[in-house]
Structure 1
Amino acid sequence: MSTILVVANETLAGAKLLDTVKERAAAGGDGTRVVVCVPRNKPKHGNIIYDDFVFDAAKVRIDLARRFLRDEGITAIGDIGDSDPYTAALDAVAEHHPDEIIVSTYPATVSGWLRRDLIERIEQASGLPVTHCEQDIDAEGIPFKVTLAVAAKTASGDELLGALKDKADEADRRTLFIVIVPQEGGEGHHAARARARMAQVVDRLVSEGLIAAGMIGDPDPYTATMNALQFFRVDDIVISTLPATRSGWLRADLIDRVRKVTNKSVEHVEATERAPSAAA
């Protein structure tokens, strides 16, 4: 069995990288496996850095990449690495013993990895052949449509599920859904509650045959959205809220703020007011 180590972060979904991986895997035959290593990187927005969010952002990239590669008939596993890409790569080499390495970066004019001579350092330290895949995904785009869904208490509602299914039906290419659920307070039980909500909506999307992954985010929904846009190239955004009479997000003008800053299509899904049950 041959093993290909792929080291990438924000450029992981680029078409050039995916084509390179498919080409190498085909050359290696049926026994080839791919290890996707994503170094953790810190969000730029917010006063507090939540470890769960940093971990989840890397895991979402891995989950979506593995789903795509599996659909192409390629065996793939994931590895969330150190925040330093050099350390992450060498840790993955020690763990998985690859036969070759593919490193994906932005172009040299904007890549922090290349300014640190990452390719040459990995090649010298590992003794393995390293292929550099340079991608400008902001200009070139990616071979998917990516919709970011932001929700908290309404995450598992039928209204959000219906809106996302409509998005998939309207798309002329495969749609990836990234679900982000802001936690209501600090870490601990607040994070666990947000993670449970996130898992539920992702499960519902996957059961409908959609490609989805999720993460929890900063307690402030605006900060959570901005951080997600830092980590992922998103085509459009769906924000689900409680009805206007009960929604703190709407009172904080979340929808318009996100529209103005991102210049992206932002769809607002408002949950239907429901009478409380006897049990409640």
Structure 2
Amino acid sequence: MPHILVVASETVGGAKLTETVRERSRQEDASFSLVVPMTKPRAGYVIYDEAVRDAAQVRVDLALSYLRGEGVTVNGEVGDEDPFTATMDAIREYQPDEVIVSTLPVASSGWLRRDLIERIEGESGLPVTHVVTDLDAEGLPFAVTLVVANQTTGADQLVQRMKERASAAGEQMFIVVVPQTDGGGRAAAVARARLGNTLDAMRREGLLIAGMIGDPDPYTATMNALQFY
């Protein structure tokens, strides 16, 4: 049974990549490890490291939830912000038989401008399959709703609205963003605790959900989340 490493960031939920993984799983009984390199946000004057890691973790969580629901054997983790370093770290850890790298089309892909595919092939000696995903043309195989809330994250009205949307939308996933109250030392811990309680409660309601803490400015937190998803 081959074990395949998948490296993706913005395109991790793309239809072409998920179909490739499903097909390899069905045809070859392959198992997979997914690594999502961290991506720095474009918005905001201050970059909060925990929010950057959370954003990548949300991509991991949503991809794992969807693929496991499709019967794929897969694990995943957040990787270094440099995609080459993230890939080589994962190769050393998982010892895969092959690597699949998913990127945006060449005109939009920073990874391709850095010759990522050729560098991985040369350094690892493994076969590398390149999957190009045009998110604008293909979209995602599921609907994603972004929820931005802080003190109201556990409100009954919000939970009920999300349940109604999930019932009406079919394949529906939610991403909850909890902005930090300020840039102080305890703000991240407080936001993370609030997020954790919210995710636990909503998962008990049967919602497919992941979440992250965000920039103290709710507008910046929202714009960064839109960049990531």
Q: State yes or no: 1:181 paired with 2:190.
A: no
Q: Deviations over 1:225-271 (max 9, x none)?
A: 00000000xxxxxxxxxxxxxxxxxxxxxxxxxxxxxxxxxxxxxxx
Q: State yes or no: 1:203 paired with 2:203.
A: no
CA contact (8 A) 1:181 1:194 kept: yes
Whole-Å Cα distance in 2 between the matches of residues 188 and 165 of structure 1?
Answer: 34
CA contact (8 A) 1:5 1:98 kept: yes
The alpha carbon displacement at 1:63 in A equals: 0.6
What amino acid sits opposite 2:23 in the alignment?
Answer: E
Q: Secondary structure at the match of 2:21?
A: helix
Which has the higher Rg, Structure 1 or Structure 2?
1
Q: State yes or no: 1:227 paired with 2:224.
A: yes
Deviates more, 1:53-62 or 1:202-211: 202-211
Whole-Å Cα distance in 1 between the matches of residues 176 and 79 of structure 2?
Answer: 22
Aligned pairs for 1:75-86 (under 5 A) are 75-86=73-84
Residue 214 of structure 2 is matched in structure 1 by 217
Whole-Å Cα distance in 2 between the matches of residues 188 and 65 of structure 1?
Answer: 31
Q: TM-score, normalised by structure 2?
A: 0.97
CA contact (8 A) 1:50 1:187 kept: no
Q: Deviations over 1:149-204 (max 9, x none)?
A: 00000111111101111111221x30010000001012532111111111122112
Q: Secondary structure at the match of 2:46?
A: coil
Residue 90 of structure 2 is matched in structure 1 by 92
Deviates more, 1:134-143 or 1:35-44: 134-143
Whole-Å Cα distance in 1 between the matches of residues 153 and 195 of structure 2?
Answer: 7
Residue 246 of structure 1 is matched in structure 2 by none
Residue 23 of structure 2 is matched in structure 1 by 23
Whole-Å Cα distance in 2 between the matches of residues 15 and 178 of structure 1?
Answer: 19
Runs of 4+ in structure 1 off by over 4 angstroms are: none
Whole-Å Cα distance in 1 between the matches of residues 10 and 196 of structure 2?
Answer: 23
Paired residue for 2:148, among 133, 147, 150? 150
Q: Greater RCO between the two (CA within 8 Å, min separation 6)? A: 2
Residue 53 of structure 2 is matched in structure 1 by 55
Residue 12 of structure 1 is matched in structure 2 by 12
Q: State yes or no: 1:170 paired with 2:129.
A: no
Q: Secondary structure at the match of 2:11?
A: coil
What amino acid sits opposite 1:45 in the alignment?
Answer: A
Q: TM-score, normalised by structure 1?
A: 0.79
Whole-Å Cα distance in 2 between the matches of residues 187 and 79 of structure 1?
Answer: 28
Q: Secondary structure at the match of 1:103?
A: strand
Q: Secondary structure at the match of 1:34?
A: strand
Closer, same or farther in 2 for the Cα pair 1:89/1:187, shift >3 Å? farther
What amino acid sits opposite 1:36 in the alignment?
Answer: L
Whole-Å Cα distance in 2 between the matches of residues 224 and 93 of structure 1?
Answer: 33
What amino acid sits opposite 2:218 in the alignment?
Answer: P
Whole-Å Cα distance in 2 between the matches of residues 14 and 47 of structure 1?
Answer: 30
The alpha carbon displacement at 1:123 in A equals: 1.1
What amino acid sits opposite 1:140 in the alignment?
Answer: E
Whole-Å Cα distance in 2 between the matches of residues 54 and 182 of structure 1?
Answer: 13
Question: What root-mean-square deviation, in Å, do the aligned CA atoms of Structure 1 and Structure 2 show?
Answer: 1.1
Residue 43 of structure 1 is matched in structure 2 by 41
What amino acid sits opposite 1:14 in the alignment?
Answer: G
Whole-Å Cα distance in 1 between the matches of residues 39 and 184 of structure 2?
Answer: 19
The alpha carbon displacement at 1:143 in A equals: 0.9
Whole-Å Cα distance in 1 between the matches of residues 71 and 139 of structure 2?
Answer: 24
